[in-house]
Structure 1
């Protein structure tokens, strides 16, 4: 997207949708990356993202693991490791392992052709297996550098444990001395300031010659290191210093190895973070049964079965997702401006936001909550004015705030723009607001922008009806009768080509406003506005009647199509059977004639050999028998059309060109059409075909 308009993203609550998707991220940087998703203007990049998301979605559906592991934001770690001589602490080094494991797991997709994008990602990642093994061998889960980190460290620690053992054994011998029992505060060895000590009562100071390293909080206990273990304590302290030096050397070496491979590691980190965003979006897609969008270069916007993710998730969490009424909307073909009208709470704003959100998601490379037949144009920008966001600090009224925003929209709009305006013309005098709104719509149409607006202004209904390239649409309301009253309730279905009614008087009456006030309001209303509302009501009623009749006709057409299909099938079966019968008869006739021909030839041979009439008499008898054995073929009487005046109800007739027979049920002499019953079904046909 050439320009990402922050105001549009805010009023369409795009951030909330991204927050929902971010919950499915595995990694911390992936979660933040999902929240930063924005629409794009590059069709190739959009398609790449969509295809990547589709591969992760397919993995999820097939129950296969993607192999991404959780890792935190590593940019601070990379910054710390970059300078020469820098040293990462053990847990920082250990935090690289999930990243390395993720690269290994994704690299396993390198040769799997059915996942081309994951395969390409796997081939792009580096192999840090050796560094992983070295870190894992050198540092345990708690961040402790293990004895296996180096031979020198192993030697130092083994020596250190030996010295510690000698010190403890010596101190245990002192604790077992009976003469010291009254002077000991407790019978254990402890450590103070890195030196092994025994606890003595304060009054027994001097009973064990040594150095006092600490005194208890109460002052009753002193912690003494006997002189006889002091040299061993010094040796232990020296070994501890050697241990720290060796540990630092190991950390410095490991950090240097990380620094050496930092460009590869950082690139892997960025690639896997992006992959996690695709994984999160795919999981979000799967949760809401979304579809990959079809992005095209034209300017036709067609949404089929669209759902607003936030509203759908809310209903889904309540177990009421089956109550959601999807949105069907199309713009950009015969008209580029659509004016949506109807009652409050009828779903106009939701329709506007749903359209905007689905377009933003598609242009961001996400799957969309709509059917696969949805078509999204490659737009340059989406500009919206939805809700009341006037600035108190700037002392702007509702109308002023909208006018300022509309000015921005008109300046930025072009043929690659989708404009969404909620309650156009609100906040001022209806007549002047209506005229101004009509001019704005005309301007946006001339600039070529796809424009969807909602309004309550009657003037805009007529304007959209009469202007080229514009159309009306309405959020459908259905009448509900009961208890002597009636009310209207929204169906949340968008109907294109007809303006909507506000139903203000009906709603007010059913909410209990006194009838005399309603009547007075209707009288005051009067005029063209009231006539327009009445006309809209009549049009809507006729539309509903037409829809009902159309539904009935469609059902009849389905029955006719089924009958035609059945008749065609039966005709094919009859043709097949007739062919079988004819083929069989032809074979039998051929064989019969072959036999009779042989008999005739034998008779002729005998006649030639007969010398007298007496000898020829038996041959003549055989010839007469042969003649009688061959049946005579009579031509069937030709079929003749039944004169229309002879057709009667109950008459059995045939339709030769269809190969069917039926019984006459009715005849219309004016139209020349005849209704037949054929195999229990009704069929209407021209009488001259009988």
Structure 2
């Protein structure tokens, strides 16, 4: 599709609107990359999936996509033997749980959702690996004692050493002679060491290691010698704990590597499912319907409404109503000339036709009544608005002429051409003559075209 036309018709805003209904970053990414298709069968298949999801949502069968993360890069790292972090393992576990939820969700779908069932049939229940991870790591990222017998034993020893340290500190603080040299009667922590706040002029009265000094220099924070040996023992146990945690993380990373291939495949399928669900949610929210797709060039939009106008109307207070329009093209005539007063909605009519055609070809329902027909256009070209360019030394009129010349070169009988204010920007007589020549060329090409205009000669020419 012509990139400039996508910009003029504001297809990017529709993609952003669609992305806001996706549940995961994967679905949002697919929505923002959505492109119109030109294969009629693929478009029809996508529309069937969206229609089935609309039905499923109406029946309270929303897919459980909570916990789906984009962990594809993490899975590649695990597959080559890298050790994953606790946070990465938790994200993988949530995604694995999501595959199990979708596997069970498929069982709830009925005969009316056969295409949806086929879409997610290849998703395996990988929740067993998720349970293995959650059995070793809690939701806060703490490796549990039950992760291994060795870790449980090390932490038991750490608890015992900690208890001995606390007992020793309590014994020291009960000593009345020692309390006289303390700035305040409590121990504090400096790094991994328990220290006592000793007045600097009483430093010689307590044997131990000075770990830091107060900003005023009046207080020394000293680790008593009787505690230093216990701190050394605790440091050794802490090192053993870290090594054991590393071994556990490597083991869990190996479990992830074992399911990396099926999980990567499932993530791609779940991202597609999220996109389909986003399309269905948007359809329900904006009262959209699936159009009938044809390859005969027949466009019939019944009670069509511009989706971005609908969005603005919903956000307004009080809510406003969008006036629908019927557009018919490609049956008895291929060229449609629209005229009327300024601010009468001519340009909106053009944009509605073009944007709804793009949405339909992107596999989306459109804000139009049931029974609407949309053909598959291989190209959609638009010349709407002011194309003046100082950089290219183009005036408003010459910019329009340059754009229309490009459109006439590229358009064929499978194209939709949208021209706004044909013949404007120059002398009315010359503009009308140029407009007639352009209409003749569009007729010769055989494309479907919608043109808005003001010159009376072009109105007469249309008849």
Work out whether the TM-score is over 0.5.
yes
- Equivalent residue, structure 1, for 2:86: 90
Distance 2:95 2:413 in 1: 45
- Is 2:441 aligned against 1:434? no
Q: Structure 1 residues 182, 175: closer, same or farther in 2, change over 3 A?
A: same
Q: 2:389 aligns with which of 371, 375, 391?
A: 391
Q: Which moved more, 1:290-299 or 1:249-258?
A: 249-258
Aligned to 1:59: 56
- The CA deviation string for residues 607-632 of structure 1, in whole angstroms up to 9 with x for no partner, is xxxxxxxxxxxxxxxxxxxxxxxxxx
The match for 1:456 among 451, 454, 460 is 454
Task: Report the Cα offset of residue 82 of structure 1.
Answer: 4.5
Whole-Å Cα distance in 1 between the matches of residues 418 and 174 of structure 2?
A: 90
- What residue number does 2:328 align with? 330
The equivalent of 1:49 in structure 2 is 46
Name the residue aligned to 2:12.
15
2:122 counterpart of 1:103: no
CA-to-partner distance for each residue in 1:644-678, whole Å, 9 max, x for gaps?
Answer: xxxxxxxxxxxxxxxxxxxxxxxxxxxxxxxxxxx
Checking the alignment, whether the CA contact within 8 Å between 1:103 and 1:268 is kept in structure 2 is yes
State whether residues 414 and 447 of structure 2, in contact with CA within 8 Å, keep that contact through their aligned partners in structure 1: yes
- Aligned positions of 1:206-285 closer than 5 A: 206-285=204-283
Does the residue aligned with 2:135 lie in a helix, a strand or coil? helix
Relative to the length of structure 1, the TM-score reads 0.65
Question: Does the 8 Å contact 1:384/1:420 carry over to 2?
Answer: yes
Q: Give me the CA root mean square deviation.
A: 1.8
Task: State the Cα deviation string for residues 485-540 of structure 1 (Å, max 9, x = none).
Answer: xxxxxxxxxxxxxxxxxxxxxxxxxxxxxxxxxxxxxxxxxxxxxxxxxxxxxxxx
Structure 1 alignment gaps of length 5 or more: 466-690
Distance across 2 between alignment mates of 1:416 and 1:384: 14
CA distance in 1, matches of 2:103, 2:120: 4
Deviations 1:414-447 (A, max 9, x none): 1111111111122122222221221111112111
The CA deviation at 1:70 is 4.6
Distance between the aligned counterparts of 1:33 and 1:353, measured in 2? 24
Partner of 1:177: 175
| Aligned residues of 1:291 and 1:369 also touching (Cα < 8 A) | yes
Structure possessing the higher relative contact order (Cα contacts under 8 Å, 6 or more residues apart): 2
The aligned runs of 1:250-649 (5 Å cut-off) are: 250-318=248-316, 323-465=321-463
Mean CA deviation greater in 66-75 or 205-214: 66-75
Deviations 1:302-360 (A, max 9, x none): 11100001112222333666742211111111110111111101110011111111111
Distance 1:156 1:407 in 2: 79
Tell me how many residue pairs correspond in the alignment. 461
**Partner Cα separation in structure 2 for residue 118 and residue 334 of structure 1:** 38
SS of the residue 2:326 aligns to: strand
Contact 2:68 2:98 in 1 (8 A): no
Mapped to 1, the partners of 2:409 and 2:291 lie a distance apart of: 29
Secondary structure of residue in 2 paired with 1:213: strand
Change (3 A) 1:268 1:370: same
1:36 to 33, 38, 51: 33
TM-aligned CA deviation for residue 464 of structure 1: 1.8
Deviations 1:227-247 (A, max 9, x none): 222222111100000111111
Following TM superposition, by how much is the alpha carbon of 1:76 offset from its aligned partner in structure 2, in angstroms?
4.4
CA distance in 2, matches of 1:391, 1:256: 59
State the 1:80 CA deviation: 4.2
Q: Distance in 2 between matches of 1:228 and 1:109?
A: 62
**Closer/same/farther in 2, CA of residues 217 and 131 from structure 1, 3 Å limit:** farther
Deviation at 1:457, TM superposition (A): 1.6
- Bigger shift: 267-276 or 66-75? 66-75
Return the offset for 1:174.
Answer: 0.8
Distance 1:424 1:244 in 2: 75
Between 424-433 and 285-294, report the one with greater CA deviation: 424-433
